[in-house]
Amino acid sequence: MRDAYHEELDGLADKLVEMTRLVRSAMARATTALLDADLRLAEEVISADEQINKIETEIEETVFDLMARQQPVAGDLRTLVSTLRTSGDLERMGDLAVHLAKTARRRHPEGAIPPELQSTVLEMGQIAERMVAKAGNVIATQDVALGLELDADDDTMDRLHRKLFDVLLSPKWKHGVEPAVDISLAGRYFERFADHAVHVAENVVYLVTGRHPEEINN
């Protein structure tokens, strides 16, 4: 019975890793749709979000079932609570990719990102992809050192987010209010995506060590 129980726990981790793969794909396609005004890719991201939501629901149902049947304590209870938190973060990351795709769809056939910001937005998308991929590795390996690296990646995303605003607030901005609003929101979506990736890593660090990252770093 206990072997079956721990197999179910391992299965939850596998589902979390699968969510990171789906979320990474969503972010990659959403960024391309945003930069290239690609309506097909935008629609793919929006429709594919259902699969991410489905896995989150499956994880939630399994966690609550295990809590009811096994009444876990100590490490196992921490695993289940961390799993719930992580799946919630990943589901919201999928939603943020959808928000980017919807921005691309709304602006189609025009592009949402003017030429002077294309490289910045591309870099933000690449960092977001890298962070969720790293988060997936942290879940799979429970590598605390790797998990702590995501803070530095998040700092890079924050700098790029500020760079967007520097351009938007510059007297040289010539694209009007609506594009500025869309870009401002897109920047926020990337920034929040990175924050959730950090939360995922923090959940794993706490699961493995029983301590929060700031306690380890101090």
* Omega before residue 114 within 30° of 0, cis: no
Nearest alpha carbon to residue 45 among 56, 34, 31, 30? 30
Between the CA of residue 98 and those of 2, 36, 41, 50, 85, what are the distances in Å? 39, 16, 11, 11, 20
What values do phi and psi take at 123, rounded to 5? Answer: -65, -40
Domains and CATH numbers, the chain: 2-217 (1.20.58.220)
Token pair recorded at residue 33: 């749709």
pTM value is 0.93
Tens-of-pLDDT digits for all 218 residues of the chain?
A: 457 777 888 899 999 999 999 999 999 999 999 999 999 999 999 999 999 999 999 999 999 999 888 777 778 888 999 999 999 999 999 999 999 999 999 999 999 999 999 999 999 999 999 999 999 999 999 999 999 999 999 999 999 999 999 999 999 999 999 999 999 999 999 999 999 999 999 999 988 887 777 766 65
Between the CA of residue 171 and those of 162, 168, 202, what are the distances in Å? 16, 8, 40
Cβ pair 167, 116 in contact under 8 A: yes
Q: Please provide the distance, in angstroms rounded to a whole number, between the alpha carbons at the two ends of the chain.
A: 41
Amino acid at 8: E
How far is residue 30's CA from residue 128's CA, in Å, rounded to a whole number? 11
Between the CA of residue 201 and those of 46, 98, 145, what are the distances in Å? 26, 22, 10
